[in-house]
Amino acid sequence: MTTSSVIYPVILSGGTGTRLWPLSRAALPKQLLALHGERTMIQETVLRAALPGAAAPLLLCSEAHRFLVAEQMQEIGVSPRAIVLEPMGRNTAPAAAVAALMTAEENAQGGVIVLLPSDHVVRNAEAFADAVAVAADAAREGHVVTFGMTPSGPETGYGYVHRGARLEKLGGAWRVQRFVEKPDAETARSYLADGGYFWNSGMFVFRADILIEDLRLHAPDVLAAAREALAKAKRDLDFVRLDSDAFAGAPNISIDYALMEKTDRAAIVPCDIGWSDVGAWSALWDIRDQDAQNNVLLGDVIVHDSTGSYVHSEKRLTALVGVRDLVVIATGDAVLVADKSRAQDVKAIVDRLKADNRSEHTDHKRVFRPWGSYETVDTGDRFQVKHIMVKPGGRLSLQMHHHRAEHWVVVEGMARVTVGEKVSLLKENESTFIPLGEKHRLENPGDKPLRLIEVQSGGYLGEDDIVRFEDVYGRAPA
């Protein structure tokens, strides 16, 4: 296989999934959750893109999610080509530009990039692979290809692509006649009746050199910012950290607006692959297996005389009586109840939480860190209780707090504890005290998870009361 024939999967993982709150939050967005199966959405996307002859995937994600993404790749045995950290969100065009520039450095002959969002569901992997093969052939001929999803109804929540003339010698691919915005219901019905309109999936296939050339012609500011951000990028552990100032100069624009609506190379491969962008809870109700009453019930749920509802309950019994077409999501710190037809409006709740400066739009009660996780068990005036889990080999930073003291009680595993100059090993049911202002560190030297209860006491208990001196995860000041 020639290098120009190699397929280079690029996975975009920059979204926050606000319409799937309270399960999806800024610190743990939907692509990092297992919403449709045992694996997370990003894991499913990466495995789906592991086509015969494909290179290792290139991942672009938020800096805040870097350790979660890396850990999820380890769980499925995938070693990415690179994990590129975006210092801030700039939509898909700058991300695509970075991916094209990196791929062109590796393959000057124009390797074919398959650009995929990490938060889509594809239920027919075989049909997906067939569609990629057709799109890759068109891309090798110089086309910039999008996948058009065969519409199953007059959907008003998607943009559409109007198919033009068939591409000769490329069975299954057509030129794009035009892109159209999300239509009203009557227009959507006319698109469905026409038969030449397809949902715009947001998945693309193109040669790296062709995309760079098209960006130079149609979005030179996007290309210039991406080129500078990559030229000034730094390696940080297993990550490529784009230059923040340069990347901030990139327009916040999608590849659709920056390029696809302007290029004369746009092509479409219509396909029916069981696709959903999982843009709302109602979409998950559509694609999950339903019971005899058309309910989707996940967790500890009891329903009576209730139909057409999606219920997801964590850590508590949730019961429904005599209701129709609801979405009910119960997490450890929030409960959402919504009319299923209004599921898109959940974003308004997230906007309200942001406006009120509340934390529920960003973090769950369980917060993940590169060394493990912690979960707040109880909190009150001048105290906070947490359950801390440290992964085998995990090591917290050497740190101190100005405003709180801490008590640690080991409930499972073994802890290596540094307090000042003293280092000791604590076993199950043993404890220690960390005075206010004392340098300390917690480590798990064992091969099983370490679990402990931490009781904080003091006048201020915020997570920003941490002074780091050393950190194996690169979070301490240089």
- Give me the CATH number covering residue 115: 3.90.550.10
Mean pLDDT (whole number) for 309-332: 96
Q: Note the pLDDT tens digit of each residue in 18-68.
A: 999 999 999 999 999 999 989 999 999 999 999 998 999 999 999 889 999
Q: Does residue 287 sit in the same domain as residue 373?
A: no
Q: How confident is the model at residue 474 (pLDDT cuts 50, 70, 90)?
A: confident
Q: Is residue 476 part of a domain?
A: no
Q: Is residue 430 part of a domain?
A: yes
User: What does the pLDDT read at residue 365?
Assistant: 87
User: What does the pLDDT read at residue 473?
Assistant: 84
Q: Does residue 418 sit in the same domain as residue 347?
A: no
Mean pLDDT (whole number) for 402-415: 97
Q: Does residue 14 sit in the same domain as residue 77?
A: yes
| Bridge partner list, 398 | 470
pLDDT reading at 2 higher than 60? no
Q: How confident is the model at residue 478 (pLDDT cuts 50, 70, 90)?
A: low
Q: Does residue 143 sit in the same domain as residue 210?
A: yes
Q: Comparing 7 with 235, which gets the higher pLDDT?
A: 7
CATH code of 460's domain: 2.60.120.10
Q: Does residue 169 sit in the same domain as residue 192?
A: yes
User: What does the pLDDT read at residue 3?
Assistant: 55
Two structure tokens written together for 8: 């280079």
pLDDT reading at 171 higher than 90? no
- Contacts (Cβ under 8 Å, ≥6 apart) of 146: 161, 176, 200, 201, 203, 204, 260, 266, 267, 268, 269
Decide which of 276, 309, 344 is a domain's last residue: 276
Smallest CA-to-CA distance from 82 within 184, 21, 11 is with 11
Mean pLDDT (whole number) for 76-85: 96
User: What does the pLDDT read at residue 463?
Assistant: 87
Domain limits for position 327: 281-355
Mean pLDDT (whole number) for 356-385: 92
Q: Note the pLDDT tens digit of each residue in 242-282.
A: 999 999 999 999 999 999 999 999 999 999 999 999 989 99
Q: What percent of the chain has pLDDT over 70?
A: 98
Mean pLDDT (whole number) for 365-371: 91
Q: How confident is the model at residue 4 (pLDDT cuts 50, 70, 90)?
A: low
pLDDT reading at 170 higher than 90? no
Q: Is residue 230 part of a domain?
A: yes
User: What does the pLDDT read at residue 106?
Assistant: 86
Decide which of 226, 243, 276 is a domain's last residue: 276
Q: How confident is the model at residue 450 (pLDDT cuts 50, 70, 90)?
A: very high
User: What does the pLDDT read at residue 420?
Assistant: 95
Instruction: Write phi, then psi, for 176 (nearest 5 degrees).
Output: -90, 125
Instruction: Decide if 57 contacts 49 (C-beta within 8 A).
Output: yes
Q: How confident is the model at residue 17 (pLDDT cuts 50, 70, 90)?
A: confident
Q: Does residue 108 sit in the same domain as residue 161?
A: yes
Q: Does residue 332 sit in the same domain as residue 199?
A: no
Q: Is residue 141 part of a domain?
A: yes
Q: Is residue 243 part of a domain?
A: yes
User: What does the pLDDT read at residue 108?
Assistant: 65
Q: Does residue 349 sit in the same domain as residue 376?
A: no
Q: Does residue 385 sit in the same domain as residue 255?
A: no
Q: Note the pLDDT tens digit of each residue in 127-161.
A: 999 999 999 999 999 999 999 999 988 888 888 99
Q: β-pairing, 310-321 with 326-330?
A: parallel
Q: Does residue 58 sit in the same domain as residue 131?
A: yes
User: What does the pLDDT read at residue 351?
Assistant: 95
Q: Does residue 203 sit in the same domain as residue 272?
A: yes
**pTM of the predicted protein model:** 0.89
Q: Is residue 477 part of a domain?
A: no
User: What does the pLDDT read at residue 153?
Assistant: 87
Mean pLDDT (whole number) for 362-386: 92
Q: Give the count of domains, the chain.
A: 3
Q: Is residue 106 part of a domain?
A: yes
Q: Does residue 207 sit in the same domain as residue 113?
A: yes
Q: Is residue 360 part of a domain?
A: no
Decide which of 276, 307, 335 is a domain's last residue: 276
